[in-house]
Amino acid sequence: MSEAEQLPDEQLEQQVEDRHEEQPQEEPQVSPDQETAQRNGHVSRDQWIEQGKDPDDWVSAKKFNERGEMIDKRRQLERSNRDRDTKRSE
């Protein structure tokens, strides 16, 4: 008879809980690119597909951030041009 079979249920449950608590809880490693992208709305490929979106349209966190930077620069230029044009017309 094994040790587990000899223990009352409560002791066996406690041993299982103790072993579970002893195992280190590893947090998934997230790269700085992934962290930035997630803050701005990027999702994993699996989540993208689960949302019913086309897998071919998904981009990596790095590419997502690069595109976001280009969009920000474009908006800044548009704002700058609009301000310049407003000053000229005054």
Residues in Cβ contact with 61 at an 8 Å cutoff, skipping those fewer than 6 apart: 31, 33, 34, 36, 37, 38, 42
Would you state the pLDDT for residue 4? 47
Is residue 35 included in any domain, yes or no?
Answer: no
Would you state the pLDDT for residue 38? 95
Is residue 84 included in any domain, yes or no?
Answer: yes
Amino acid at 56: D
Would you state the pLDDT for residue 25? 63
Would you state the pLDDT for residue 90? 77
pTM for this predicted structure: 0.62
Is residue 82 included in any domain, yes or no?
Answer: yes
Is residue 33 included in any domain, yes or no?
Answer: no
**Residue 68 to residue 55: CA distance in whole angstroms:** 20
Is residue 79 included in any domain, yes or no?
Answer: yes
Q: Which two tokens stand for residue 9?
A: 């249920």
Count of domains in the chain? 1
| Structural domain that includes position 88 | 59-90
Is residue 34 included in any domain, yes or no?
Answer: no
pLDDT per residue of the chain (90 residues) written in tens, 0 to 9: 455 455 566 776 777 677 656 666 666 788 999 999 999 999 999 999 999 999 999 999 999 999 999 999 999 999 999 988 888 887
